[in-house]
Amino acid sequence: MLNGTEDEEKWLAEGIAGIQHKAFYMHRALDSNNLREALKYSAQMLSELRTSKLSPRKYYELYMRAFDELKRLELFFKDDSKHGVSVVDLYELVQHAGNILPRLYLLCTVGSIYIKSKEAPAKEVLKDLVEMCRGVQHPIRGLFLRSYLAQISRDKLPDIGSEYEGDADTVMDAVDFVLQNFTEMNKLWVRMQHQGPGRVREKREKERSELQDLVGKNLHVLSQIEGVDLEMYKETVLPRVLEQVFPDEYHLQTLETLLGACPQLQPTVDVKTVLSRLMDRLSNYAASSADVLPEFLQVEAFSKLSNAIGKVIEAQVDMPAVGAITLYVSLLTFTLRVHPDRLDHVDQVLGACVKKLSNIPKLEDSRAMKQVVALLSAPLEKYNDIVTALTLSNYPRVMDHLDIGTNKLMAMVIIQSIMKNNSCISTADKVEVLFELIKGLIKDTDGADVDELDEEDFKEEQNSVARLIHMLYNDEPEEMLRIICIVRKHTMVGGPKRLPFTVSSLVFSALRLLRQLQGQEGDIVGEEASMTPNKIFQLLTQIIESLSAVPSPELALRLYLQCAEAANGCDIEHVAYEFFTQAFVLYEEEIADSKAQVTAIHLMIGTLQRMNVFGVENRDTLTHKATGYSARLLKKADQCRAVYACSHLFWVNDQDGIKDGERVLLCLKRALRIANAAQQMANVARGSGGPVSLFVEILNKYIYFFEKGNKQITSSAIQGLIELINTEMQSDSTNPDSVADAFLASTLRYIQFQKQKGGVVGEKFESIKL
């Protein structure tokens, strides 16, 4: 492309030579009145215009050559004594050409004669021409073709006082024609800018400006149509011209004039589309480069637009809500693009919208609703941060105008935005506003039809709320506590269906605060009387107690145990004891289902085992209780497992953990007795042995404590147990159980493995004879 200009010169010369060559034959045909040949060679000549190699400037030179030739052709066409074909037939004949560009040039040429002949209404022919020209979508070729059309039709428009004005042809048709051609040319012109890679963009822009005149000529024609009066200009011409693509900076500078005209337009004119498009265009322009932003400030674009919209809405009382809101959406988008720093603008737009909405009793139009959602979503999209939106005083007021479903939807959008951007809401005030915004999810709204709720949707909503609670965080314990209190205030009114979802989040949030407090303990100990772990534990108790209304004892029990562990961490024995008490009470009074009991017991045992805050007395009490519960489970197998799990309560591997070998053994022996009883019961009830696997499980406990150095567990006891299991397995009454077999086998393999290890462990295991 180094010598691109040179090449272009060459191509242009070739094109001109081609035109001259074909024109020569065309002239010969014209001279001999040979229509067929004339059509053939003129089409060939015009084919030279199909080139894509020339810049607009060079193409213009080529076009002018062809244009001159077409004038000669037109003279020939006009004189039907020479070719003997009527203009109607000629109009068809030229359409036989296979290539579109020559075909349309010829069609326009004949079309102009057709209008002149008045054998058909001018508007019909014009309409046909302007429609058919759509076939050329290549920007440069299309622009020149349409400029040819404009050129040849200029003196044939059915203007007032023109000879082509008739009953069927009015000045309106003339305006329509010019505007349509103008519109299409604009589209082609705009398209040029999107073509080609960025490298040639600059060149394109230059070319485009060269073609600008071509497009602009239409406006010139328009201005010369006599019949256009002010009314028509306002009602028809201006809106359509406005739709077109003027350079954006032009729009910007004439904004005032432009907007001044808008409220005066007739209601039939779709002024809202015009305005919203204008704003969209300006928004895009603003987004295109930061350099142009000062221009916007200079002309006070926002306030002008805002005023204009206000006036239009005021003037057009019948404008449907959706129209007004669409305008606000556009304005909002505009200000977000142009003045991203001016939150007051955003709030102002929302406020105006609230004002408009408050005049409407109830928003039922779904399209309007969608627009409101768009309006509310735009700031979220822009700032990627709900925190900004929370400072907008009108935001919740707009939300109030949504119906229940949409309100929830919007609340979900807000939550999702928070999740997506991982934004942390860190002050109590903002949390308060946020919960006000999403109150549709937090509590039942009056008039909401509960039956219609979709179970899954509801779950998803509540899970989102639960997730949201985790996003509320502040490093300052004081502020965090306030946040928790606010969340608590809001969620507590959620009713029994929502509480199970929100309470756990809230509890864990509070527990996190506890850990936070512990981390800083060294600094603030004793100073802040209001902020003691005790206080938080009180709060926690209250929160969990709220679950009793649901009721959801299993969840409450788990949460109590979590709190107990936290209290353990804070080294507050009586609180931990209190939580355990609560858990045990729940277990005794509320949890009746045997499966739930089993789960609960194991949870309690597990938690209790990890506790190191308790003194001997308290620990004994709790351990005693837990063991007692275990032995009273319904199914023998469950009993057995719970009891051997209790053995761990007497053996904690920590340095100063309790190591009461004797009671461990007692537990295991008791478990064995229960397993045995289970076996016998199974024999009686079903005539076959029960699960041997229980024995193997107990064997594993034996091995565990043996390995950990519990002196009460001896190798001979283990040996005895293995023998017992073997006997059980071989007995006739036992059903073959491959799982138990495998379990036993791998247990024995473990013993083998430990033996081979050698050292202290190996020696210890050596004493077990297999």
Calculate ∠ Cα 652-657-661, nearest 5°: 60
CA of residue 636 relative to chain centroid, distance: 54
Q: Which of 101, 255, 465, 678 binds another protein (CB under 8 A)?
A: 101
Q: How many residues of this chain interact with another protein, rule: CB under 8 A? A: 41
Mask: binding to another protein, 230-249, rule CB under 8 A, as x and -?
A: -------------x------
Query: According to the binding rule CB under 8 A, does residue 95 interact with another protein?
Result: yes
Query: Taking a C-beta distance cutoff of 8 angstroms, is the pair 504, 555 a contact?
Result: yes
The residue (of 194 and 769) whose beta carbon lies closer to another protein is 194
Nearer to another protein (CB atom), residue 273 or residue 388 = 273
Q: Which is nearer to another protein, 277 or 470 (CB)?
A: 277
| Residue 201 interacts with another protein (CB under 8 A): yes or no | no
Closer to another protein by CB, 145 or 433: give it.
145
Q: How far is the CB of 135 from another protein (least distance, A)?
A: 5
Residue 506's φ and ψ, nearest 5 degrees, are -65, -40
> Contact between 50 and another protein (CB under 8 A)?
yes
H or E segment to which residue 510 belongs: helix 499-524
| Nearest-approach distance from CB 484 to another protein, in angstroms | 33
What is 678-716 written as a DSSP string? HHHHHHHHHSS---THHHHHHHHHHHHHHHHT-TTS-HH
Calculate the dihedral angle through the C-alpha atoms of 380, 382, 387, 391, rounding to the nearest 10 degrees. -90
Determine, following the binding rule CB under 8 A, whether residue 377 of this chain makes contact with another protein. Answer: yes
- Stretch 556-595: interaction string toward another protein, x if CB under 8 A: ----------------------------------------
HEC per residue, 32-64: CCCHHHHHHHHHHHHHHHHCCCCCHHHHHHHHH
Q: How far is the CB of 99 from another protein (least distance, A)?
A: 5
The window from 187-195, 480-488, 497-505, 676-684 that contacts another protein (CB under 8 A) reads 187-195
Stretch that binds another protein, among 128-136, 398-406, 662-670, 726-734 (CB under 8 A): 128-136
Query: What is the rounded CA–CA span in Å between residue 713 and residue 537?
Result: 41
Of the candidate residues 139, 379, 396, 477, the single one contacting another protein (CB under 8 A): 139
Contact flags string 51-90 toward another protein, x per CB under 8 A:
----------------------------------------
Exactly one of 381, 457, 588, 766 binds another protein (CB under 8 A); that residue is 381
Q: Count Cβ neighbours within 10 Å for each residue of 179-193 and write b for 16 or more, e otherwise.
A: bbbbbbbbebbeebe
**Residue 419 beta carbon to another protein: minimum distance, rounded to whole angstroms:** 15
CA 736 to CA 87: how far, in whole Å? 104
Is 305 within 8 Å of 331 (Cβ atoms)?
yes
Q: Which of 85, 190, 292, 419 binds another protein (CB under 8 A)?
A: 190
508-510-514-519 Cα dihedral, nearest 10 degrees: 80
Both tokens of residue 639? 């009993």
Residues 469, 472, 477, 482: is their CA dihedral positive or negative?
Answer: negative
Using alpha carbons, select from 158, 47, 159 the residue that is nearest to residue 106: 47
Alpha-carbon distance of 357 to 376, in angstroms, equals 14
Q: Which residue's CB is nearer to another protein, number 249 or number 381? A: 381
Between residues 326 and 609, which has the closer beta carbon with respect to another protein? 326
Query: What part of residues 272-331 is at the interface with another protein (CB under 8 A)?
Result: 273, 276-277, 280-281, 283-284, 287, 326
Nearest to 253 by CA among 317, 307, 300: 300
> 366 vs 538, which CB is nearer to another protein?
366
Cβ closest to another protein, residue 273 vs residue 518: 273
Sign of CA dihedral 47, 52, 54, 58: positive
Q: Cβ 8 to another protein, closest distance in Å?
A: 20
The stretch among 375-383, 387-395, 606-614, 695-703 that binds another protein (CB under 8 A) is 375-383
Please identify, among the stretches 79-87, 167-175, 368-376, 609-617, the one whose residues bind another protein according to the rule CB under 8 A: 368-376
Backbone torsions φ then ψ of 425, nearest 5 degrees: -95, 120
| Residue 384 sits in the site that holds another protein (CB under 8 A) | no
Half-sphere exposure of 196 (CA within 13 A, CB side): 13
Q: How far is the CB of 40 from another protein (least distance, A)?
A: 12
Binding site for another protein (CB under 8 A): 50, 92, 95-96, 98-101, 103, 131-132, 134-139, 141-142, 187, 190-191, 194, 243, 273, 276-277, 280-281, 283-284, 287, 326, 333, 367, 370, 373-374, 377-378, 381
